Structure 1
Amino acid sequence: MSSLMKGTAILTIGMFLSKVLGLVYIFPFYAIIGQENVALYSYAYVPYTIMLSVAISGAPIAVSKFVAKYNSIGDYESGRRLAKSGLMIMTLTGFLSFLALYLLADPIAHLVIKDEEQVVTVSQIAGVVRWISFALIVVPFMSLARGFFQGYDHMEPTAISQLVEQVVRIIVLLIGSFLVMRVFNGTAQTAISFAVFSAFIGAIGGLISLWYYWRKLKPEFDLKLQSSVSSGQLSYKSIYTEVITYSIPYVFVGIANPLFQLVDMLTFNTAMSNIGLAKVSDAYLGMLNFTTQKIVIIPVMLATGFSMALVPAITNYYTKNQHGALMNAMDKTFQVLLFVTLPAVVGISLLSTDIYHLLYSEDAMGSSILAFYAPVAILFALFQVTAALLQGIEYQKWIVFSLLTGILVKLAINIPLIEAYETKGAIMATAIGYLISITINMIVLRKALNYKSKMVIRRSILIIALTVIMAAFVIVTHKLLVMMFGVAHTKMLALVYLVICISIAIAVYAFLSLRIGLAQKLLGSRITKIASKLGFRG
């Protein structure tokens, strides 16, 4: 378990920092390009993310699973052969994906624009899609390298390369868009085109950091290769058949959220036009698929870290028939996931007005969408983790089935719900689709492993109770602040309110969870030591 938690911690910290950076850059970028141009930026990223996931083909997880499996039986040669040949294949895959997205830019733009009253035009969308497609040349190559490191239980290269990639991308994006808009008085389309092209430059930075780790760790890999025992000479055909079997479900896991966003991108404007709201359609979709989504996705980073670290560990337990360890890993994963994400999403919902004002602008619609959208983050996290568990026990086909079922439900009900409830209808359709996918995953896990845990149920009820108490403190505190100082119409006052409310929320939740020993049980020995010094008993 310590190895699982250590790997999870490294990936989670790396992803947390990456996600924070991915949120922080939006504030100055939003100020540079203006709210009216946010939709154009988001239109480029949804098809890019889907094409990227297809190009990567689940490489990090699939390769880490393959390498971990054969390393566990002492066959280090098979993983090395996969890495050597796979890098060439991923380079070709990346170039073909770039070419496909570049050529499909116009058809994609025509699918999105449904009404002449919309603010964004077909040519603008096609232009930014072409610029972002260049990143596809580099990223697939990088993803396979990350998977190889993870297979050896080296999570640091993935975490650091993701950080470097994000930092380089953001620096280029902000400087480039600022120069275009404020120094050279260029158009928003030019600034956004440069901004999306920064994904390519950031990927180069991430690749360089991975090269550094390869040079650093190569002696270790070579030493293990010399002691490799043969599990039977695997042909390249058998190697790639196994990897593709692993990767196909993770193509779907990787594009789960973008696919739901794609459904909104293709149907939202139609539904809004049907009810006479075409003029605000681009702005509302920008809030749904970009500004609020960037905040909502932050709590989900824990699930992403767990799913990446979980697959090799679960595969190891399952291969060695260590049923008890497997059940314990699953129990702890679900509990920690809920322990962290539930209070986070509740806090975001309660403080949505001040959060949206501070990060973007004072906008009633934006804060309303954020408050309604935040709880769905729990479903995003649960889907990723349940999918990772199914992948670990060789039930990959059910991931594809569950996700496609959820997407089809979303597709069927999206337009009617949007016509009835506008933007909130799209969120409701997403939540229903994810609930169906998660339910299918849990049914399969229960049937395959006879998994059922009264402990998880009891702890979940306890976590919900703690969150309710925390929420009550936040609501009372915020109301008192508004009574004393009024509604926060300035960013500074919004920041003050958030600092006070968040501090109280963390203090209350931490105190209660430490007082009853829940935090110590879920977060390990280090938290237990800290709690003991503070006078809490586990």
Structure 2
Amino acid sequence: MANKLLRGTVQLSSASFISKILGFIYMIPLGMMIGSTGNALYRYAYGPYAIMISLSTMGIPLAISKMISKYNELERQDVVQRIFKSGILLMLASGFTAFLVLYMLSPLMARIVVNDSSSGNSLESVIFNIKLVSFALIIVPPMSFLRGYFQGHQTMGPPAVSTVVEQIARVIFILAGVFVTIKFLHLSVTAAVGVATFAAFIGAVFGIAVLIKQVWKRRDHIFSPAAAREGSPDISIREIFKEIIQHSIPFVVMGMSLPLYQNIDSYSINRILMHIGFKQHDAEDINGVISYAQVLVLLPVSITTGLSVSIIPNMTKSFVANNYKLMRKQMNQSFLVLMTIMLPAAFGMFALAEPLYYIMFPNATPEMGGGLLRVYAPAGLLIAIYGVTTSILQTVNQQKKAIAGLAAGLIVKLALNFILPNYYPESGFIIATYFGYLTSLTVNIIVINRNIGINLKNIKFRLISLIASTVIMVLVVSAVKNLLMALFFPKATYVNELIVVIIGVLAGILAFGGVLYALNFTRIKKYIKMKQ
């Protein structure tokens, strides 16, 4: 069980991480080709698209994963097959409906961000790009369903490969398409951004193709007549649809937690800062720097996404079997994996914030960016723990309380966004994010303790050794960074900062790994001596 959980976590986490890395890297050359105006146009199209994706898929991968795991545990293969057949039809209808809604509403959405007298992107170009990106909505929902189907069977390979293939195809199409459009065809930036937005459709085609191939390989099992169970009440398609929707609505609400936090900042920072005396240009500069810092902070968080996904079917099985002891064991194991990844990642970023931000975004106010990234970096740990605890609540059917926790956190975040910038104009929004996630996380932990019970006694030493290793790592990395910048690389150039980051990362890996090994090796020797 432990090996299966770990293998599934590694597969999905690796796929998510690769996808996030690709999604991060392509932004740099794309920005160079289409410029800031083109990048704004690109974001105008992807904003409503991201919302429609959330609404049209309704958390289907995790919901389907939970349902299939449940009925497999109950040995209802007939229901599992009906879930597949009826669910794929539901997602096809959902995707086509979402496509029509976004396509038809594109003029209204475009007018929210630009107007006819705008000196930047025209109204027509925004409408054009929103319409192009809407086509991806036809494919993404059924693709999400198939990923959830495989995850429910604890077969994490196909959804992991599909995720990576989708992103690779999308990135290649974006970069190659935009380059050809501008350099060879000499078309407008609007046309180039149109190619970039249409890449969502191309990526989805490749992603779903991988899953369809795997379904075809398993067609005898998926489509074979299921043996009827005597004495068991039949479950209608209507009941299956109802259960899918009941399970998936909480998932979409929780899945939108990050976008909601991000949008609170995006849509409030400018007005709040201007209200306290900032000029619009300066306010937008701070808004952009916080956005860039956010991208870096969420990069290591993406590694733990697979943990949140893979924990659901395993803990659901234990919950259905009323095996709370095993649930606590699975929860502790997941928490250890998360802490092993996020502690060194978040606090390593904290120690190397200034040079790291410089090499990633050298043209985006690096002086301010490094300081704000240092403030923001540890938040990655909170966000990752929140994601896993939310998944745990969903396995024990406490979705409503998880949603209440999210709502409470968002209210705290929004309220503090208006208060803290009066005292901390640049970092106040980030501090508000900490308090928001802490509020939501506190609710989650209280509910988990009441329903499952939290007992960290068995992993206490490993947690202490991870924290101690992280503290030593931060001290070593900070010392190495300061020494290098003082003696060898006093001037901030791209090459100098890159060298500092590389040496700092290597020093951090050696310090963290060395201390962790030494602490655990000492404990093992002590244990052997006691046994003798």
How high is the TM-score relative to the length of structure 2? 0.89
Indicate the residue corresponding to 1:429 in structure 2. 432
Task: Provide the C-alpha distance between the structure 2 equivalents of 1:242 and 1:48, rounded to a whole number of angstroms.
Answer: 26
Task: Provide the C-alpha distance between the structure 2 equivalents of 1:520 and 1:104, rounded to a whole number of angstroms.
Answer: 63
Cα distance per residue 1:396-455 (max 9 Å; x no partner): 111211112212222233233345534422222222211111111111111112324244
Indicate the residue corresponding to 1:2 in structure 2. 3
1:123-522 counterparts in 2 under 5 A?
127-221=128-222, 226=226, 229=229, 231-274=232-275, 275-289=277-291, 291-362=292-363, 363-418=366-421, 420-455=423-458, 459-487=462-490, 489-517=492-520
> Which structure 2 residue ranges, 5 or more long, are not aligned?
525-532
In structure 2, the residue corresponding to 1:233 is in which secondary structure?
coil
Indicate the residue corresponding to 1:531 in structure 2. none
Root mean square deviation, CA, Å: 2.8
Partner amino acid, structure 2, of 1:309: S
CA contact (8 A) 1:369 1:424 kept: yes
Partner amino acid, structure 2, of 1:305: G
In structure 2, the residue corresponding to 1:357 is in which secondary structure?
helix
Q: 1:382 to 1:42 in 2, by over 3 A?
A: farther
- CA deviation after TM superposition for structure 1 residue 104, in Å: 4.0
Indicate the residue corresponding to 1:532 in structure 2. none
Deviates more, 1:469-478 or 1:86-95: 86-95
Q: 1:131 to 1:344 in 2, by over 3 A?
A: same
- CA deviation after TM superposition for structure 1 residue 136, in Å: 1.6
Aligned length: 518
Task: Provide the C-alpha distance between the structure 1 equivalents of 2:273 and 2:38, rounded to a whole number of angstroms.
Answer: 19
Task: Provide the C-alpha distance between the structure 2 equivalents of 1:35 and 1:283, rounded to a whole number of angstroms.
Answer: 13
- CA deviation after TM superposition for structure 1 residue 467, in Å: 0.8
Partner amino acid, structure 2, of 1:381: A
Partner amino acid, structure 1, of 2:438: L
In structure 1, the residue corresponding to 2:75 is in which secondary structure?
coil
Partner amino acid, structure 2, of 1:361: P
- CA deviation after TM superposition for structure 1 residue 40, in Å: 4.3
- CA deviation after TM superposition for structure 1 residue 316, in Å: 0.4
Partner amino acid, structure 1, of 2:306: G
Deviates more, 1:484-493 or 1:211-220: 484-493
How high is the TM-score relative to the length of structure 1? 0.89
Task: Provide the C-alpha distance between the structure 2 equivalents of 1:376 and 1:165, rounded to a whole number of angstroms.
Answer: 29
> Which structure 1 residue ranges, 5 or more long, are not aligned?
522-538
2:29 is equivalent to residue 28 of structure 1: yes
Deviates more, 1:65-74 or 1:353-362: 353-362
2:9 is equivalent to residue 45 of structure 1: no
Partner amino acid, structure 2, of 1:373: Y
- CA deviation after TM superposition for structure 1 residue 294, in Å: 2.5
- CA deviation after TM superposition for structure 1 residue 226, in Å: 4.8
Task: Provide the C-alpha distance between the structure 2 equivalents of 1:173 and 1:134, rounded to a whole number of angstroms.
Answer: 16
Cα distance per residue 1:200-248 (max 9 Å; x no partner): 111111011111111223344457x656757531111221222222111
CA contact (8 A) 1:342 1:378 kept: yes
In structure 2, the residue corresponding to 1:74 is in which secondary structure?
coil
- CA deviation after TM superposition for structure 1 residue 312, in Å: 0.5
Q: 1:47 to 1:268 in 2, by over 3 A?
A: farther
Task: Provide the C-alpha distance between the structure 2 equivalents of 1:361 and 1:294, rounded to a whole number of angstroms.
Answer: 15
- CA deviation after TM superposition for structure 1 residue 369, in Å: 2.9
Q: 1:453 to 1:370 in 2, by over 3 A?
A: same
- CA deviation after TM superposition for structure 1 residue 287, in Å: 3.5
In structure 1, the residue corresponding to 2:411 is in which secondary structure?
helix
